[in-house]
Amino acid sequence: MTSLDAAATRALLDAGYVPGAVLGSGMEGTVVDLGRDRVAKAWHGRAVAGLRRLQTFHRALRAGGMALATPLVEDVLPVGDGSERGVTVEARLGGRPLRADTGEGEHHVGDPEIAAVLDVLRALAAVTPHPDLGVLPVLDGEPPFDARDPFAASLAGLVERRLRASGHVLRRRVPDVDRVARAVVDRLHAMGPGTTTVVHGDLVPGNILVTGDVASGVLDFGFLTTLGDPRFDAAVAASVHDMYGVRARHTEAAIDAALVSELGHDPEVLHLYRAAYALVTCTSYSASGSDGHFAWCARMLDRDDVRQAVGL
């Protein structure tokens, strides 16, 4: 497991923290134990200013009545190595990930798993909106959505900007992507203002904590996190729950059935939001479209049910 780098270690020691064992390391950074129910995260790419915005968001989320445990940045430390990156000190959350595996195997989603996803969606939808819940950039290189604008209109604008940036890559895989994007944008603009609450944006199973089989916490806000329509979170959560598994469509359909029957969501709205998600995130991890996420997004845009939902 990757160790904490020397500059981050020094920043923690200078602030009076004693870094312990490495708990995990991934694309975003390295997490170490600090004891006393605290952890530190040395971020690879996020600058101190962005981490302070994340701290503001975390505080607003808790103040908004979030019913489940969520991260809380207690301190932001500059690394001091000439870069702008920082280290955060955060409360350590209990529980375990809903599902740790993210491979391409065969996963059969069960009722307790679906119930945990719905409990998280309900908890997020019940958070009292506050402007500080909209301070985070929706994606790298993008500004936060303007809270004065309807979420669907802001999402439509993001679709148009991301198509300008990555359309040349998408057209090689989805030749009529411009027609698809136009239909998505038109449908989004035709939507009313709708309900507004906090949107997580990346509710993969690893970001949902459970105690036993019951949802107890939510991790990793920051990718498409904004104030918006809770149906967007629902649509994405169902589709990414078993994103690369051989039963991915079965899993999505099972969660969709619960979203319709228990939360009253319209399947066509869910598919519309899935098309928008695919358009705006397709090159988030590879500008050339050479990764699995891009291929997944392209397949989403080719699906008959998704195209029918946007009027094609």
d(CA 251, CA 235): 12
| H/E element, 35 | strand 29-35
Average pLDDT per block of 10 residues along the chain, 312 residues long: 82 93 85 92 90 96 96 93 89 88 76 96 97 95 93 97 96 97 98 90 95 94 96 98 93 97 97 98 95 97 97 94
- The CATH classification number of 96-309 equals 3.90.1200.10
Check residue 1 and give its pLDDT.
Answer: 45
Report the pLDDT value the prediction gives residue 103, as an integer from 0 to 100.
Answer: 63
Q: Give me the residue label for tokens 């958070």.
A: 127
Bridge pairing between strands 214-218 and 208-211: antiparallel
Q: Per-domain residue ranges for the chain? A: 6-91, 96-309
> What CATH number does domain 6-91 carry, 3.40.190.10, 3.30.200.20, 3.40.50.170, 3.30.379.10?
3.30.200.20
288 burial via Cβ count (<10 Å: 0-12, 13-18, 19+)? exposed
pTM: 0.94
Vertex 100: Cα angle to 96 and 103 (nearest 5)? 170
Cα(102)–Cα(241) distance, integer angstroms: 9
pLDDT at residue 25, rounded to an integer: 81
pLDDT confidence of residue 81: 77
Could you tell me if residue 65 is left (phi over 0), alpha (psi between -120 and 50 degrees) or otherwise beta? left
